């Protein structure tokens, strides 16, 4: 029976969440039943991205596609012998050994997916002479900031007018105007979508829904794989009156910011999809609009550009005409009577500004992955544990209005 009773890593924050460029610190917990002679105790900190998937052809031949990037790797000696043949004593009992390191600034945000990831881990190793080493592993979240105020021109509101006409015996048309106050949001913020309509047909509008689409591209050495999925949705069910207005509110869940800046093998974008379902055998009207997900909210609502900057929206299904222009919105600053989010142990380098309280850090809604690397020993403690990144969530922003 092994004399190793406990061997694990603990971070100095319960959320294990840090901003890029911060100093990460914690403790190596070692509890052994008897004294050990070792060559050393050290940690290896790694930040990397990895993608992998397989495809089979009609003859069942399987091809694997992979790619990887390494952002940094740091080795920190905690206990070390003086020479290659020297030994040091690891005393019996429960001990804590502190570690710390500083991360680079230009590294991508943590991201986990079954096809690929951006992952940051700490491996602690007890180097034993003439025996297998003891190893344990833990992952932590890195949040790379995306300030929506820097991308203000990409956060303009939407005012999209569409006419759906019907041929043959169906006379008339459905006139739609879709309004969204902004194209830039942070997790915890509500996207209010207003659909104004005038229906001059005998066809009924049965349902209006809004969906948040995540668009991923994974780049292997030789091929790119696209992966799109709906990660949040909401809706209203009719039938609705002939003329009227339908408002839906979609809450942005805990998700990583757009782009995955500094990552060269995974691209991440988001779109807001508005669907109008109509009665009978007619296809739904579907419109999509790019949205930017950030880590710092807009201090002020997006403003209207000059008229010559108004652009056409190409993402139209079964419509005759469309135009997008920004609409003024109310302030994005927090309301005084909204509930406050007080969470200790915030990343110290997180800068909010203008009386916006700091965010909480909540687990990503996309699920967990284990942190075992390819070809890593099954005896690495903690490698099979599920890990879910945490992202900043602003629970006290004033809901957007139109």
User: From start to end of 128-181, where are the E strands?
Assistant: 134-143, 158-165, 173-180
pLDDT digit string, tens, across residues 368-377: 888 998 888 8
Confidence of residue 323 (pLDDT cuts 50, 70, 90): very low
User: Does residue 112 surpass a pLDDT of 60?
Assistant: yes
The pLDDT score that the predictor gives to residue 366 is 75
Fold adopted by 4-145+358-390: Immunoglobulin-like (2.60.40)
Looking at the domain 152-317, which fold is it? Immunoglobulin-like (2.60.40)
pLDDT of 319 strictly over 50: no
Q: Average pLDDT, stretch 54-82?
A: 90
Digit-coded pLDDT (tens) for 156-183: 998 888 877 766 555 678 888 999 999 9
Mean pLDDT of 265-269: 97
Which stretches does DSSP call E strand in 144-284?
158-165, 173-180, 184-185, 190-199, 205-219, 224-237, 243-251, 266-278
- Lowest-pLDDT choice from 141-155, 196-210, 261-275, 351-365: 351-365
Percent of the chain with pLDDT over 90: 53
Residue 58 pLDDT > 50: yes
> For residue 302, what pLDDT is reported?
73
Q: What is the mean pLDDT of the segment spanning 189-210?
A: 87
Over residues 182-209, mean pLDDT: 88
Confidence band, pLDDT 50/70/90 cuts, at residue 204: confident
Alpha-carbon distances, residue 269 vs 98, 217, 228, 258, 290 (angstroms): 39, 9, 10, 5, 8
| pLDDT computed for residue 341 by the predictor | 33
Q: What pTM value is reported for the model?
A: 0.83
Same fold, 4-145+358-390 and 152-317: yes
pLDDT of residue 375: 81
Q: How far apart are CA 301 and CA 156, in angstroms?
A: 8
Report the pLDDT averaged over residues 351-359. Answer: 67
pLDDT the model gives residue 328: 32
* Segment 300-328 mean pLDDT: 40
Q: Which residues pair with 259 in a beta bridge?
A: none
Measured CA to CA, the distance from residue 354 to residue 155 in angstroms comes to 19
| Every domain of the chain and the residues it spans | 4-145+358-390, 152-317
Beta bridge partners of 164: 174
Q: Look at residues 128, 142, 111, 127 and name the one whose alpha carbon lies nearest to residue 45.
A: 142
Judging by DSSP bridges, how do beta strands 316-317 and 158-165 pair with one another?
unpaired
pLDDT of residue 161: 85
């Amino acid at each position: 029976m092994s004399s190793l009773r406990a061997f694990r890593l603990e971070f100095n924050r319960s959320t294990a969440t840090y901003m890029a460029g911060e100093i990460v610190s914690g403790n190596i917990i070692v509890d052994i039943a008897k004294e050990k002679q070792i060559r050393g105790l050290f940690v290896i900190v790694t930040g990397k991205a990895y993608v992998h998937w397989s495809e089979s052809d009609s003859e069942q031949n399987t091809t694997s596609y992979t790619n990887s990037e390494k952002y940094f790797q740091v080795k920190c000696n905690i206990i070390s012998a003086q020479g290659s043949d020297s030994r040091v004593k690891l005393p019996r009992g429960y001990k804590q050994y502190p570690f710390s390191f500083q991360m680079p600034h230009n590294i991508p945000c943590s991201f986990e997916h079954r096809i690929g990831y951006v992952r940051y881990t700490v491996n602690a190793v007890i180097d034993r002479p003439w025996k297998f080493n003891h190893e344990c592993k833990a992952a932590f979240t890195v949040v790379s900031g995306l300030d929506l105020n820097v991308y203000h021109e990409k956060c303009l509101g939407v005012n999209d007018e569409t006419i759906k006409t019907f041929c043959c015996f169906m006379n008339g048309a459905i006139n739609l105007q879709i309004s969204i106050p902004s194209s830039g949001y942070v997790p915890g913020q509500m996207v209010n979508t207003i659909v104004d309509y005038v229906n001059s047909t005998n066809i009924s509008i049965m349902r209006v829904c809004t969906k948040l689409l995540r668009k991923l591209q994974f780049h292997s050495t030789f091929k790119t794989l696209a992966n799109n999925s709906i990660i949040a949705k909401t809706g209203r069910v009719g039938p609705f009156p002939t003329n009227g207005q339908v408002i839906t509110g979609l809450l942005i869940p805990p998700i990583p910011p757009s782009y995955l800046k500094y990552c060269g093998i995974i691209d991440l974008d988001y779109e807001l999809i508005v669907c109008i379902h109509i009665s009978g055998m007619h296809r739904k009207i579907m419109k999509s609009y790019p949205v930017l997900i950030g880590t710092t909210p807009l201090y002020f609502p997006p403003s209207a550009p000059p008229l010559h900057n108004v652009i056409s929206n190409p993402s139209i299904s079964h419509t005759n005409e469309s135009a997008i222009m920004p609409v003024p919105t109310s302030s994005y600053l927090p309301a005084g009577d909204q509930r406050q989010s007080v969470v200790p142990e915030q990343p110290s380098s997180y800068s909010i500004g203008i009386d916006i309280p700091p965010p909480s850090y909540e687990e990503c809604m996309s699920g967990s992955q284990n942190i075992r690397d390819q070809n890593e020993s099954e005896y690495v403690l903690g490698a099979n544990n599920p890990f879910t990144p945490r992202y900043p969530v602003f629970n006290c922003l004033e809901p957007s209005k139109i």
